[in-house]
Amino acid sequence: MTTYFPEVEQITFEGRDSDNPLSFKWYEKDRLVAGTSMADHLRFAVAYWHTMKNQGADPFGEATMDRLWSDFSEPLDRARATCDAAFEFVSKLGVHYYCFHDRDLAPEGDSFAESCKNLEIMVDHAKMLQESTGIKLLWGTANLFSHPRYVHGAGTNPDYHVFAYAAAQVKQALDATKELGGENYVFWGGREGYETLLNTRLKQEQEQMAAFFRMCVEYAERIGFTGQFLIEPKPKEPTKHQYDFDSATILNFLRSHGLIDHFKLNIEANHATLAGHTFEHELAVAAAAGKLGSMDVNRGDLLLGWDTDQFPTDLYATVYAMLEVLAAGGLGSGGMNFDAKVRRGSFEPVDLFHAHIGGMDAFARGLIVASAIIEDGFLEDFKKLRYSSWDGAGAAALAGNSSLDECERFIRAHGEPEVVSGRQEYLENLINNFI
Ligand code: XLS
Ligand code: NI
Ligand code: NI
């Protein structure tokens, strides 16, 4: 059998004293952290589109990536080779999951029927590889944004014909995800938004989207797909204004349309920052609603205002994220999908290993640090004290059993409140002691 990464052997944990760059310094899959193995806490997944398909083209230049598995002229031959390379990569990396869009796995055909056939062929191929390697599908999704037919959106398209096409495509993608035992199914509204209100019925487009989701829920129930449905927020890009702006917006949409029970959220770091939030803010908002489902782990660039999808290496970011994940009680059927791509200049196949190893180590370390912080308890103690008045005088108000009159009586009796410091810098310094 062809090997696509002949220079790389199985990546294993060697610890921080190892000088082998192709080894984990922190990620030790069976190590228990707060009673659970690192592998079970983190549930890493490789993103098929970036890792296997990204060729490094940008608006100013052509493909740069050295990818043997792309050197086939027949689309299905290329798809099979890509799938073989993907499973070799994921196995050698020691990750248990992968994620794909239908069109990553199988090429779009000349007709809808041919696209369906291609997908079926590739699902069989992937299934065989899943069985022989033990690698599992974290989630599947449909690419409803690349083909020109989706230029004005999919579920929110002004033309019912395109809406129906997208729905038919999702039906196939749901079948594929079910067939491969996918544990979740993601909806990312790639072009579900608008460029100008001059040609757009905003309210109707959102109603269309709700109708689209209702049909998906109904179909999943009918075929017995038990994976979790996830929506992935992103505020802009490709469209100027996307309906799934951030966690709060999606929660409001789901509640308004009676869909809240059927979905959780898939939070992506770089999308959070594009929305003007931190990653941990988006995780916390989702978790507060009991809707933290899964994560796309990556990072943006402070100096660039778009979805650069870089690999996560910033320890503060992983610590803050893991504090939220641990507080939420974990990700359930979700995981951490590396929705990240190597830079255009990192064009050798081995760079894919360096990138994932770095991301996995950064999150492993984030997990260890966050768990130690939680175990120490200083943050919780601080918050307990800071909010202590709500256990006493404020308890009735919090429970909805107070009134403006009651508050007035309280103020007349107690006068001016004593304002206390939030001690932000003090707390930040304590965090540094753990890193
Ligand atoms: C793009 C999104 C996309 C989704 C899956 O910005 O992150 O990759 O994760 O469609
Ligand atoms: Ni994503
Ligand atoms: Ni993204």
* Residue to mutate (ligand 1; options 231, 232, 244; most atoms within 8 A of CB): 232
Higher pLDDT, 376 or 305: 376
Nearest CA to ligand 1 atom 3: 188
Taking CB atoms within 8 Å and a gap of at least 24, the contacts of 33-42 are 33/367, 33/368, 33/371, 34/326, 34/371, 34/374, 34/375, 36/330, 38/364, 38/367, 39/96, 41/325, 41/330, 41/367, 42/335, 42/336, 42/360, 42/363, 42/364, 42/367
CB atoms within 10 A of CB 216: 24
Q: Is the pLDDT of residue 2 over 90?
A: no
Nearest CA to ligand 1 atom 2: 188
Q: Which residue has the tokens 């950064």?
A: 362
Q: Is the pLDDT of residue 160 over 80?
A: yes
Q: Which CATH number fits domain 32-376: 3.20.20.150, 2.40.110.10, 3.40.50.300, 3.40.50.1980?
A: 3.20.20.150
> DSSP state, 34?
T
Length of the chain: 435
Nearest CA to ligand 1 atom 4: 188
Q: Which residue has the tokens 């027949």?
A: 74
User: Mind listing the pLDDT tens digit for each residue in 247-257?
Assistant: 999 999 999 99
Nearest CA to ligand 1 atom 8: 339
Say how far apart CA 25 and CA 16 lie, in whole Å: 4
Token readout for 222 is 């009918």
Q: Could you tell me the distance, in angstroms and rounded to a whole number, from the CA of residue 231 to the centre of ligand 2? A: 10
User: Mind listing the pLDDT tens digit for each residue in 341-352?
Assistant: 999 999 999 999
Minimum-distance ligand 1 atom for the alpha carbon of 237:
6
Token readout for 199 is 């040609």
Question: What is the arithmetic mean of pLDDT over 258-286?
Answer: 98
Q: Could you tell me the distance, in angstroms and rounded to a whole number, from the CA of residue 396 to the centre of ligand 3? A: 44
Question: What is the arithmetic mean of pLDDT over 143-159?
Answer: 98
Catalytic residues, which ones?
Answer: 101, 104
Q: Is the pLDDT of residue 1 over 90?
A: no
Q: Could you tell me the distance, in angstroms and rounded to a whole number, from the CA of residue 309 to the centre of ligand 2? A: 9
Q: Could you tell me the distance, in angstroms and rounded to a whole number, from the CA of residue 427 to the centre of ligand 2? A: 32
Average per-residue pLDDT for the chain: 98
Q: Is the pLDDT of residue 180 over 90?
A: yes
Closest listed ligand to the CA of 237: 1
Closest listed ligand to the CA of 300: 3
Minimum-distance ligand 1 atom for the alpha carbon of 145:
10
pLDDT bucket at 131, cuts 50 / 70 / 90? very high
Nearest CA to ligand 1 atom 5: 188
Q: What are the backbone dihedrals phi and psi of residue 65, each rounded to the nearest 5 degrees, phi first?
A: -70, 140
Q: Could you tell me the distance, in angstroms and rounded to a whole number, from the CA of residue 100 to the centre of ligand 1? A: 10
* Residue to mutate (ligand 1; options 137, 188, 266, 270; most atoms within 8 A of CB): 188
Q: Could you tell me the distance, in angstroms and rounded to a whole number, from the CA of residue 188 to the centre of ligand 1? A: 6
Q: Is the pLDDT of residue 353 over 90?
A: yes
Closest listed ligand to the CA of 186: 1
- pTM attached to this predicted model: 0.98
User: Mind listing the pLDDT tens digit for each residue in 302-316?
Assistant: 899 899 999 999 999
Q: Where are the domains of the chain?
A: 32-376, 394-434
Say how far apart CA 175 and CA 181 lie, in whole Å: 10
CB 348 within 8 A of CB 306: no
Token readout for 215 is 């049909």
Residues with CB under 6 A from ligand 1: 101, 141, 186, 188, 232, 234, 268, 296, 307, 339
pLDDT bucket at 61, cuts 50 / 70 / 90? very high
Question: What is the arithmetic mean of pLDDT over 226-250?
Answer: 98
* Residue to mutate (ligand 1; options 230, 231, 234; most atoms within 8 A of CB): 234
Question: What is the arithmetic mean of pLDDT over 27-38?
Answer: 98
Predicted confidence at residue 136, as pLDDT, reads: 99
Minimum-distance ligand 1 atom for the alpha carbon of 268:
7
